[in-house]
Amino acid sequence: MEKGILKISQISKIFISKYPVIAFFLILLFFHSSFVKSESYAVASRHHLATDIGMKVLEEGGNAIDAAVAVAFALAVVNPSAGNLGGGGFMLLHLAETKETLSIDYRERAPKKSFETMFQDNSGKVIKGLSLNSILASGVPGTVSGMFYASRKFGTIDIKSLINPSINLAKEGFALSDFQAKNLNKYKKKFSKNKEAKKIFTKTNGFSKGDILVQTNLASTLKRIAQNGEKEFYSGETAKKIADFFQINGGLLSLEDLNQFELRILDPVCGNYRVYTICSMAPPSSGGIALVQILNILENINLSEIGHNSKEYLKILISAMDYAYKDRAKYLGDPDYFKVPQDLLTSKKYANEIYKKIQEKKLPSKVNVNIIESEETTHFSIVDKWGNAVSNTYTLNTAYGSGIIPTGTGILMNNEMDDFSSKPGHPNAYGLVGSVANKIEPKKTPLSSMSPVIVFRDGKPYLITGSPGGSTIITSVLQEILNILDFQMSLEESSKKSRIHFQHLPDILFHEQLDDDLIEFLKKDKKLINRKLGEIHSILLRKDNIQAFSDKRRPDGKASTVYK
């Protein structure tokens, strides 16, 4: 055999010496064909047009970060309820070449003139709606900064070409789905309070499926950003338009706030669960700590043996969620302003102590509060042919944010100031109760439930996932992880399974369709509310197979894969 190999080697040397040019191209063709055969990439997002744009970037040789930037700008146009320029979020990314996993916190910051009692009256009572629907509701947006940083640091394609498809979509318009048309009509009253929003997002007789939504001012803003870079949004003409609007209308957000916005590069929160490593966002997200804490508790049980969505399974999930959300309210906030006991909360020892309490039926005390739930955030997952992965969740907070568009910009502004504790102990729009850890302070970042996740097996991305859903994000993502890792479901199978959500306060168990005997069992201890939970967009990489799936709980999402 060795002689045979030697003979082939000698022939190769003779051929290369006689025909060097031909040999070069044959070698190049060999490596290229080998490379193409190993290609696989995928995008899963909230809107089919955004997914198509991301896939085109990957097809043309861009990496996952390039595609993520293009998808994020596209969603700002085609998914205005949550995709945004006027909001913020978290990007978790894994770089295949360096095997580094890091996260970008481009979440909104409180304006410099913010103060702890800004949403309270003289008697200390929280003024209803002020943190959601007023000119005071907006934090300093971070999305543009986040996308430009990601592109500059990790991308391979000029960001102008990544923004161009979004400019065209805004300028020429796109056809509304039935869901989008109805959703815009649902918030007509909200839009009608702002001249610009009313002009763009309302129609005399309401929108219908197939109507073309054109956003001319947004197209112009995107064009300026593409030409002038992120400085356009933070110190240029666009920044001045935003700041002038807030000043004229009695807001706190200023040009100085925009000038001074800074994102943060954070180490992800990672934990080991069985043979997997789960990584998600560190504070100011509560997602990473809560997920790791719950998984540490559940690791004490062989879940696959007790049966998916069985009485025992749901009972342990509810108890673990209860403790995690109690700790969320007490301990979590912006780490630059409050010392978060991250090591304690994510430790196996602490989780084992909680598990013992659960076994002894020692549960946290409960206090009922009102809850208003929203689904409006958006997530997308991307993996490229090199193994780079992006899990990104960003938002305006509630649907269409504050509903306010600064004159001439086309930019819907966030209402993220509601994610602070307007008053310690008082619930926000999601019913989440916070403490002094999350009180309002100048330049501070509000606590968030956004939980972009990358699960690793043998050091490589295995599951890329995330969801919208306010306070239900963490539990929706948790159950996706359990379905895939413990029960070996496909993404489609997982999506079809009913989810539950419990968050300590209020003492209400939210659930999707469950068997009658389970409902009767759960009724004994909890008030129940039936509703849809989460909207997962995931990519799963199993051995030589790649899956991508966009949750069908809401229409318009699309997952695309290429496998060769």
Catalytic residues: 377
**How far is the C-alpha of 326 from the C-alpha of 433, rounded, in Å?**
9
Beta bridge partners of 510: 501, 529
H runs (alpha helix) in 431-515: 473-485, 491-496
Report yes or no: 209 and 176 within 8 Å, Cβ to Cβ. yes
Q: Of 502, 285, 466, 495, give the one whose Cα is nearest residue 393.
A: 466
Q: Could you count the other beta carbons within 10 Å of the beta carbon of residue 262? A: 11
Alpha carbon of residue 424 to chain centroid: 26
Q: For tokens 């193994």, what's the residue?
A: 387
Amino acid at 214: V
Residues 418, 104: contact at Cβ < 8 Å? no
Sign of the torsion angle spanned by Cα atoms 372, 75, 145, 98: positive
Rounded to 5 degrees, φ, ψ at 319 are: -65, -45
459 — phi, psi (to 5°)?
Answer: 80, 0
**Helical packing angle, 473-485 and 287-298, nearest 10°:** 40
Nearest to 131 by CA among 442, 397, 362, 408: 397
Is residue 184 within 8 Å of 201, Cβ to Cβ? yes
CA distances from 67 to 55, 144, 307 (A): 7, 15, 39
- CA 379 to chain centroid, in Å, comes to 4
Rounded Cα–Cα distance for residues 113 and 331 (Å): 25
Length of the chain: 564
Q: Which helix (H) or strand (E) holds 500?
A: strand 500-501
- Classify the phi-psi angles of 316: left when phi > 0, otherwise alpha if psi is within -120 to 50, otherwise beta: alpha
- What is the rounded distance in angstroms from the CA atom of residue 336 to the CA atom of residue 105? 13
Two structure tokens written together for 537? 């967009």
Q: Which residues neighbour 180 within 8 Å (Cβ) at sequence distance 6 or greater?
A: 207, 213, 556
Q: How many CB atoms lie within 10 A of CB 26?
A: 13
| Structure-token pair, residue 265 | 């590069």
Closest residue by Cα to residue 296 from 364, 353, 348: 348
Q: Return the axis-axis angle of helices 216-228 and 237-248, rounded to nearest 10°.
A: 130
- Determine the Cα–Cα distance for residues 477 and 411; give it in Å rounded to an integer: 29
